[in-house]
Structure 1
């Protein structure tokens, strides 16, 4: 869990330890790309085996997690997805970001996207479509891998080092095109370049003919909370256009970060 959360828990004597442990189990399952067994969960979180089984049984009964009948291992349940979808719909971040997305869309004439990190993927929270006949479109709530999307790489690059490494170790590096980054070393090198430049680029890494540029959004603690990107056909992302796109994108993301820092 986050250090600040742990500190608050330690100060507040009214908290319930078993609830905290249940949440930590959910977070562990969410961070894993594969199902996890009870013993592995117990060892990873330093919980007693008996307590772990009781917590898992409770979460399973509440449909927060599911158990594979053959392997007996656990994964997140569909109910959590429904809760997450409701949280996304209620998220004030989307309302706040909408005017900025429209501004970016109008400046670039390309589709503008708002994305956040969700375990080992990004999730699209909002989008303002380009008005051009040929344009990019992604459904709200859609997901994309981290290693081959501009927003994914940006969201990963600005995480604390321990969290970044934790996620990288669990990526599968699926190859979508000949330009997809398929190694840890290649991704780490790309993330270093992103931090140096302040933005990330996807040059047909997930889909041929599609390009994307993304930049980070920071909160009042200077922690990354989201990424904004522009996407469109690669033929419209030439060197001259990219310079303009990057300038518009960085100006707007800086404006948003300044507002969030107030």
Structure 2
């Protein structure tokens, strides 16, 4: 959608009929998601333009969010409210990895000089739950909490190792390739089962490569994927072999110490 193609406002009546349902909650979350580091304040006009909601609906939702402390009115618009502090504190305690695990990731990033990510599966998506950035100027970085598709990428292949046929089909249907992508997903899963790792090169983003290995739980089920990612030009065969060995050593230590995370599958 371009700036010149504003969405058609939804009727206020339709919103009222959904006021007690999931749709109104989703709309409120859509408003909150407009706030970013680059845009810490958002106006009513911006909310209307970007959500496509009627102005009266936006005003009602914003007033409710302000009343519960999730938004705060300023002279320039609305910003994150103080009520989010409590949620942020709870989220940090729940999401933050043990210091030992964080140290292992820091040391891995320092040795290999590429970005280290830890992903867990969430339905047909993978969620980045921890990261240590590469010390190099040219590097690959995602944000902690970002959801990425599972139909491509080294970490996705690892996380799908124990996936059911039904889940593989759903992941394939979410891809640009449709249901025919199931065969490719099965080949990737077989590869991880045989080798214990997965690689990718330009599958989701041109010029980006990654290597990933599984972090397992007590039942040896995959609970997370540990990866190194960066520009494809630096991922030579020799480097990839070194990445795999180092990743496997670190993942084994994580698995031995135990990996506990709210989004990790029960193991």
TM-score, normalization by structure 2: 0.61
Decide whether aligned partners of structure 1 residues 219 and 204 sit closer, same or farther in structure 2, where only a CA change above 3 A counts: same
1:182: Cα distance to partner? 6.2
1:212-227 matches, within 5 Å, as 212-227=210-225
Corresponding position: 1:107 with 2:107? no
Corresponding position: 1:132 with 2:132? no
Corresponding position: 1:95 with 2:98? yes
1:148-227 matches, within 5 Å, as 148-157=152-161, 159=162, 163-171=163-171, 172-175=173-176, 183-227=181-225
In 2, the alpha carbon distance for the partners of 1:184 and 1:77 equals 36
Number of residue equivalences: 186
User: Which residue, 123, 127, 137 being the options, matches 1:123?
Assistant: 127
Deviates more, 1:224-233 or 1:96-105: 96-105
Q: Which has more radius of gyration?
A: 2
Unaligned runs of 5+ in 1: 1-59, 68-74
3-state secondary structure, aligned to 1:183: helix
Unaligned runs of 5+ in 2: 1-18, 34-83, 260-267
Decide whether aligned partners of structure 1 residues 100 and 164 sit closer, same or farther in structure 2, where only a CA change above 3 A counts: farther
Decide whether aligned partners of structure 1 residues 222 and 239 sit closer, same or farther in structure 2, where only a CA change above 3 A counts: same
1:93: Cα distance to partner? 5.6
Aligned equivalent of 2:243 = 245
In 2, the alpha carbon distance for the partners of 1:149 and 1:201 equals 7
Segments of 4+ moved more than 3 angstroms = 75-79, 81-88
